[in-house]
Structure 1
């Protein structure tokens, strides 16, 4: 986690310095409405609250800046406080799924594959949903057992699936890995069964194309409107057999070419890559592969959905492709996961409600001494780029929630406004920008974490678990208020009973397995 210490300009009193700084930066021209406690905002503005800074506001680096007096004499002044955190939204969950699979196989996951935000985003949340496209913003938190440290949860939610009525038709190009490694049980066979079931659940006006790759890539089925042609899709899927090496680059390039050739205007055009991502032939560099499909991705808005399979899995390559390919990744470890992804989530979440979505959290320097964003290491965005709509963000569909967890150290005796969270996104059709904000007051942090709302506790448990796995040694966790392995396992077990949530029970099982390895 990156730690941000909030610094005061020298030789000024805190409140005077804050007011002068915000006025100079133009931040007092409009303020988000909101009372004390957690708040889900509709984006309106009122008095007395700090909105996300304007694009010209830069993040303090800790180095002093040189300025000149009227007579030209150089002098040193302190930089503005570093109170901003900006990142692209990410709905990936593959890291958690693969970690759970590794633990079930009796081994701890490689720390490099553990991304805490994907652990956190793997669980259902209780955020209020917006009425239409876009996001709601909810901010809450609780005190940890460590003095002056709290966990603050920023929750973003899109509308429920099907809430706005009929979705547009889908044009899905499935790019399927049929290399030799996909012959392992639970890889190609699992994908085939899932695709057969999903094909029967898609609508008649949806279209499907199938591309396969091993040492080379081949379009097995061009874009085909389902209607009375579902049998063609079933025949193509059922005829797949594992063959040679893994030329993933050729598969992705051919997949995008097939998607462009079968592009449907007014439809959601998406490439679905199903692979263990163990590329060993042809182009194996994610950036090079993405460069070759850049035109199709940018000009036609074709998004990438990565589905990882296999006990050995090329996590880094798949994540890089999805992050830079305007998409997201999941990991499928068995029949239950496959049914959830292919039969429930993919058909329901074909539509997009937001493109290039970014979040920015502004912490109040008067109440916050330092903060740490948990995870999102590869999704950080320069603070100045929050409102630069040319800068890539995340693509999000209906039914999703995105959670960012912060460790926050408050100033001794602090009281009042603590943070403003903003989300900005582009309408998928018109590319028009939109924003929403939410607020948090210090008074909402009075309660203890382990007596807080169950879903906030689940978020905390998932984050503490990820930090333990990523550190490689449970004695060297960095997230404040860590309860330790025994108490963490007990909290997880208690939450599984309280929530009656099967996914939380699986989390408790994974923590228990990790303890015994």
Structure 2
């Protein structure tokens, strides 16, 4: 039985807040793989061999008091230079924030999850040949003395260009409650599902479950080949009804997925909703407990697609995190087509299960660090190699980025950090690990002199940081070297020109909108 709740949360504050290092001796000095003089390096796969030089879990330590979000007050604490978290490829927080800002509103600080801002942008990390991950580590010094920003980048292989992949068995759970009548909700979902039906392969299967006051299986698991018109008809007949019993929809969706389970296929539940649950079970943990055996025994993952100007972001994010999946948010036709017609078919396969990352900072060179975001994905350091503890499920074509603010010892230029990712093979459940390292000498002298994609990562993190601090300045410490929103917008516009990436241009627009509001 996997454990993700109580034990893994107890160190969330160490990842979310500043971690002070008082250690001297090399008890935590972890050599990992040889560095070869570059900013990052890669190790061969390893499984349970703890003598291989990978970072070892730190012993448990007292955690002190935590508030309801796991963020810690500054208290004197024992040395801790390990950072451990479950991988996350969610992007919904950034998508919804853009929607809110475009409507002239400021997002709530609790709705801003920096890792989802950072992971919303394309990266240029090296890709592995097979399943699992490549590991890249780089960094740049900031304008604040002894503070640098360090980026840990993980990437999976690209989807097969030939389109070869296991067949997909997708159970769509569609919200048809009254709140979905707003333009851009059910109408957008129906159009997107219709186009996606034409894009999926003949050997793929889909089922359709709807929910309002109650849940109903509209279409059992049905092969696309020879049945596309039947599936189109079921989608076209969807109409808005009553209240939002999201719990019943998820429970019925998983039951339908289990009934139509296909061996050798990727079995997934796709929840399309504004997540404004107002009847039945509205608690994420309680909902997931009801489908726990289906989720764990059959490996069915959850993909959440959020819609609507009012959106239950917290509920959807928690469902996806605990349901071994991820979330996106769509606000328009273009985004919906990208998600349903491009991303979902392309990423329907899995390349890694229960993936976790651990970054070990060298006590000889690093005084303290702070992980940007990932508070909801924290894992106890000693659980890094405990494969009963949930990690993240990741498919082909994904990248995962973690950004750290790191204070080094004055004049330090030696080994700074070893980053290790651990995952289970999606079919055999065999564990593997891969590592990369960072040397102080390879840090760029400034963020502005680093690669453009590194600068985009930093700009996204600065943006999220500014939004959170604008709503709760006492709670969140500013990242080192942070510019004002006006200057950040200028920098994002320059990066949009350099990268020729429309997504970076949208970031610049969002920062401008926030600057006008705040």
TM-score when normalising by structure 1: 0.91
The answer to whether 1:98 aligns with 2:96 is yes
Equivalent residue, structure 1, for 2:468: 470
8 Å CA contact 1:423–1:435 kept in 2: the answer is: yes
Equivalent residue, structure 1, for 2:510: 510
Equivalent residue, structure 1, for 2:18: 3
CA distance in 1, matches of 2:413, 2:452: 26
Q: 1:151 to 1:260 in 2, by over 3 A?
A: same
Equivalent residue, structure 2, for 1:74: none
For residues 255-295 of structure 1, give each alpha carbon's deviation from its aligned partner in whole angstroms, at most 9, with x where no partner exists: 00000000000000000000000000100000000000001
Q: 1:259 to 1:221 in 2, by over 3 A?
A: same
CA distance in 2, matches of 1:452, 1:427: 34
- 2:107 maps to which of 102, 106, 109: 109
Number of residue pairs the alignment of both structures matches: 485
1:164 shift after superposition: 8.5
For residues 130-189 of structure 1, give each alpha carbon's deviation from its aligned partner in whole angstroms, at most 9, with x where no partner exists: 011100000001011111101000000000111686100000000000000100000000
8 Å CA contact 1:51–1:422 kept in 2: the answer is: no
1:107 shift after superposition: 0.5
8 Å CA contact 1:424–1:433 kept in 2: the answer is: yes
1:474 shift after superposition: 9.3
Equivalent residue, structure 2, for 1:312: 310
Equivalent residue, structure 2, for 1:286: 284
Q: 1:143 to 1:266 in 2, by over 3 A?
A: same
Name segments (4+ residues, structure 1) moved above 6 Å.
Answer: none
8 Å CA contact 2:21–2:78 kept in 1: the answer is: no
Equivalent residue, structure 1, for 2:128: 130
Partner of 2:377, secondary structure, is coil
Q: How does 1:204-243 map to 2 (within 5 A)?
A: 204-243=202-241
Q: How does 1:320-359 map to 2 (within 5 A)?
A: 320-359=318-357
8 Å CA contact 1:42–1:136 kept in 2: the answer is: no
- 2:55 maps to which of 27, 37, 53: 53
Q: 1:473 to 1:246 in 2, by over 3 A?
A: closer
Cα-Cα RMSD: 1.9
Partner of 2:376, secondary structure, is coil
Q: Unpaired runs of 5+ in structure 2?
A: 1-15, 65-75
Partner of 1:32, secondary structure, is coil
1:43 shift after superposition: 2.8
Q: 1:474 to 1:499 in 2, by over 3 A?
A: farther
Partner of 1:280, secondary structure, is coil
For residues 418-468 of structure 1, give each alpha carbon's deviation from its aligned partner in whole angstroms, at most 9, with x where no partner exists: 000000000010000000000000012242101210000000000000011
TM-score when normalising by structure 2: 0.91
8 Å CA contact 1:153–1:403 kept in 2: the answer is: yes
Equivalent residue, structure 2, for 1:481: 481
Q: Unpaired runs of 5+ in structure 1?
A: 9-13, 64-77
1:415 shift after superposition: 1.8
Partner of 2:193, secondary structure, is helix
Between structure 1 and structure 2, the one with the greater Rg is: 1
Partner of 1:492, secondary structure, is helix
- 2:428 maps to which of 416, 430, 433: 430
For residues 311-361 of structure 1, give each alpha carbon's deviation from its aligned partner in whole angstroms, at most 9, with x where no partner exists: 000000000000000000000010111011001000011000000000000
Partner of 1:366, secondary structure, is coil
1:387 shift after superposition: 0.4
CA distance in 1, matches of 2:121, 2:503: 7
CA distance in 2, matches of 1:192, 1:213: 15
